[in-house]
Amino acid sequence: MIINKITLSQITKYQGASAPFFIADIVRIIPNRDVGEFHMEKIDLHMHSDYSDDADYPVAELIARCLREGVTTLAVTDHNSAFSFAESLKWRSDSLNIISGIEIDCTFQGRNFHLLGYGFTPSDDFSQVYENFNNIQRELVPVKLTKLRELGFFIDDENLARLANGRLPQEEQMGEAILEDERNADNPLLLPYRSGGERADMPLINFYWDFFGPNKVCYQPVTYPALEDMADLIRNNGGIPVIAHIGANLKEEHEAMLELMLESGVAGIEVFSSYHDEALAQRLYNFACEQGAYVTCGSDFHGRNKPKIEVGTCQYNREQLAEIQRFIDVVSKGSHQA
Q: What are the sequence ranges of the domains in the chain?
A: 2-131+223-333, 152-212
Q: Which residues pair with 29 in a beta bridge?
A: 3
Q: Are strands 27-30 and 2-5 parallel, antiparallel or unpaired?
A: antiparallel
Max CA pair span of the chain: 66
CA atoms within 13 A on the CB side of 278: 3
The pLDDT value recorded for residue 338 is 41
pLDDT confidence of residue 33? 33
CATH number among 3.20.20.140, 3.40.630.30, 3.30.1490.390, 3.90.1560.10, domain 2-131+223-333: 3.20.20.140
Band of residue 184 on the pLDDT scale cut at 50, 70, 90: very high
- Taking residues 63-73, report their average pLDDT: 97
pLDDT (0 to 100) of residue 9:
38
Enter the pTM of the model: 0.85
CA distance 181 to 179: 6
CB contact at 8 A, 210 and 262: no
List of E strands, the chain: 2-5, 27-30, 42-47, 71-76, 97-99, 101-108, 111-118, 240-243, 268-273, 294-298
